[in-house]
Amino acid sequence: AVQLVESGGGLVQPKESLKISCAASGFTFSNAAMYWVRQAPGKGLEWVARIRTKPNNYATYYADSVKGRFTISRDDSKSMVYLQMDNLKTEDTAMYYCTAAGDFDYWGQGVMVTVSS
């Protein structure tokens, strides 16, 4: 069965950095585009970042709200995807979900990131 397990969330202060991770299993990770989607408390879903596969040069894409501050990366040898979040703002407070494949096929359980002073 497909599993996506996020980790690394927590409480940070504004302008600080945090790196969250997602461990994938149950599918051919290297063949799948990977995404991060977030959900602020009581709000809807917002796509954050995308990373494509090696044949597509690991191309990355970001929502305007995080461009220049967040970096998505992947390690195919470990079936891991990461989100490095720098210069965090209070409005980045959200549950962050790792999702796999092109059409939001699979979702992890999420990891909470809280940005507060």
Sole binder of other proteins in the list 41, 56, 57, 64 (CB under 8 A): 64
Nearer to other proteins, 3 or 15 (CB): 3
CA 2, 28, 33, 89 torsion-angle sign: positive
Determine the Cα–Cα distance for residues 50 and 58; give it in Å rounded to an integer. Answer: 9
Proportion of the chain in helix, strand, coil states, percent, rounded to 5: 10, 50, 45
Q: Contact between 68 and other proteins (CB under 8 A)?
A: no
Determine the Cα–Cα distance for residues 17 and 8; give it in Å rounded to an integer. Answer: 12
Stretch that binds other proteins, among 12-20, 21-29, 85-93, 106-114 (CB under 8 A): 106-114
**Least CB distance from residue 63 to other proteins, whole Å?**
5
Q: Torsions phi, psi of 106, nearest 5?
A: -130, 145
- The mark string for 26-45 relative to other proteins (x by CB under 8 A, - otherwise) is ---------x--------xx
Binding site for other proteins (CB under 8 A): 35, 44-47, 50, 61, 63-64, 97, 102-110
